[in-house]
Amino acid sequence: MKGGPQRHERTILMQEIIALTKELIRFKTMHKNPEEILRCAGFIENYFKDHDIACKRVDNAGIPSIVVLPADKMVPVLLMAHIDVVDAPAELFEPVEKDGKLYGRGSIDDKYAAALSMVLVKEHVGRLRKMGKGPDDLPFGILITGDEEIGGANGAKIALGLVDTEFCIALDGGNIENIVIKGKGVWRLKLIARGKTAHGARPWLGENAIEKLMADYMLIKPFFDPPADSGVEHWHRTLNFSTIQAGKSFNQVPDYAQAMFDIRYTETDNLDELLEQMRAAIQGELLEEAREPLFWGGDSPYLDLLLKIADKTGTGAAHGASDARFLSNYGIKGIVWGANGDMSQHAPDEHVNIASIRALYDMLNDFMGKIP
C-alpha cells in the first residue's frame, strides 16, 4: 500500500514518544521530592547516552537542566520543555491511556514535550549519520529544565544564557491551533497590616490586624477592576488574593497579618506608578516580592515558516506565564506552542490528546527539515 512504510515508521515513533512520556510521568518530580527531579534528569541523560548523543547537564542550586546543542556554533532553533510538576497524589503518577488520551500528572505539563523533543533529536541525528554527518550538524537544539513550576530562576533563566540561538519554541502552552506570541507578566506583592494584641474577650483593647488587612485589600482591589471594554478575552491586569497568614491563637486579637497577591499584568501597565498609587491608598505596607517580565515573542522568519507549515494554526496570547518570559533577557525571539490538553494542566484529570502529539511532531519534524 502506498505510504505504508512511512506510516509504519510514524506509528513506531508515536509509540516511542508515548512510552517515553509514560516513563517520565512515573517520576514524582514535585519540588518536595528534589531527588526525583534529579533521577528524572539522569534518566534523560542516559537516553541520550544510549543513542550516542552528547548532552550537557547544568545544575544550579540543585536544579538540573539538560542541554543538547551542536558544538561551538549558533543553533538556529531551540526547543524548550520542563520535567517538574505541581503536587499530586501518588495515583496520578501512574499513567493511564484511555480513549485517545494519556492521563497523569505532567502528561500535558510538560512531560510529553520533553519526550517529543528527545525523540525528535534522536531521529534527526540518525538521519544525519546516514548522510555521513553527526549531531554537530543539527539545525536545532533542546533545553529541558527542572524548575518551571516554581519560577524557573535556576533553570531556564540561567541555562538560556548558555545557548546561542535565534528562535525558541517553548513547548509549554498554546495548542495545535494556537501559537502563543505574547503572555502576561508575573508580579508578586505582599500586603502587611500591623495591629495591637489583646485578649479575645476584650477586643476593644486591641487593633485587629486581620481586619486592617482586609480593609486595605478592599482599597487595592478596585485597581484591578476590568475596564468596561475588556470583553471576554480579559486582556487586562488581574489580581489573585492567594495566601494569608495571621493569628496565633483563637482567643487573641492578632497584631500581625500578611497576604500574598499573584498579579498578572499586560504591556499597557506601568507597575512603578501603580505601586505608588496603591501604597498611597492604604494604611499598611505593600512590598514588591517579585517582578517577572512579559513574554513578547517578536516577529521572526522562523515563525513565518512555521505558520506556512502549520497552515491551520493561528497566533494568540496567554494569561499564564512560562519560562518563555526569560527569552527577552537574552534577546531571543520565540513562541509558546504545544499539544492539546483541554486546559487540564494541574487538574486531577490532567491529560494530553495523543493525536495532537502526532500532529505536533509531524509539523516540528517538517519545520526542522526546512530550516535554512
- Going through 155-249 in order, the beta strands assigned E by DSSP cover 165-170, 178-183, 185-194, 198-199, 238-246
- pLDDT at residue 321 in the model: 86
CATH number of the domain where residue 163 is located:
3.40.630.10
Last residue of a domain, one of 292, 319, 342: 292
- pLDDT at residue 231 in the model: 67
- Does 148 lie in the same domain as 218? no
- pLDDT at residue 10 in the model: 85
- Does 358 lie in the same domain as 347? yes
User: Which residue, chain included where needed, has cell 512510552?
Assistant: 19
β-partners of residue 295 are 183
- Does 212 lie in the same domain as 147? no
- Does 83 lie in the same domain as 18? yes
- Does 39 lie in the same domain as 174? yes
- Does 303 lie in the same domain as 282? no
- Does 161 lie in the same domain as 199? no
- pLDDT at residue 5 in the model: 64
Distance CA 276, CA 54 (A): 51
- Does 164 lie in the same domain as 126? yes
Domain count, the chain: 2
Closest CA to 284 of 199, 218, 202, 187: 218
Tell me the residue range of the domain where 216 lies: 185-292
- Does 50 lie in the same domain as 137? yes
- Number of residues in the chain: 372
Segment-wise mean pLDDT, segments of 10 residues, the chain, 372 residues: 66 96 98 98 98 96 97 93 98 98 98 98 97 95 97 96 96 97 95 98 98 98 89 87 96 98 96 98 98 93 97 92 93 97 97 98 97 89
Distance CA 324, CA 294 (A): 9
- pLDDT at residue 9 in the model: 83
- Does 105 lie in the same domain as 247? no
- Does 304 lie in the same domain as 206? no
- Does 235 lie in the same domain as 313? no
Closest CA to 84 of 55, 62, 99, 68: 62
Q: What is the pTM of this model?
A: 0.88
Closest CA to 24 of 101, 127, 108, 87: 108
CATH number of the domain where residue 288 is located:
3.30.70.360
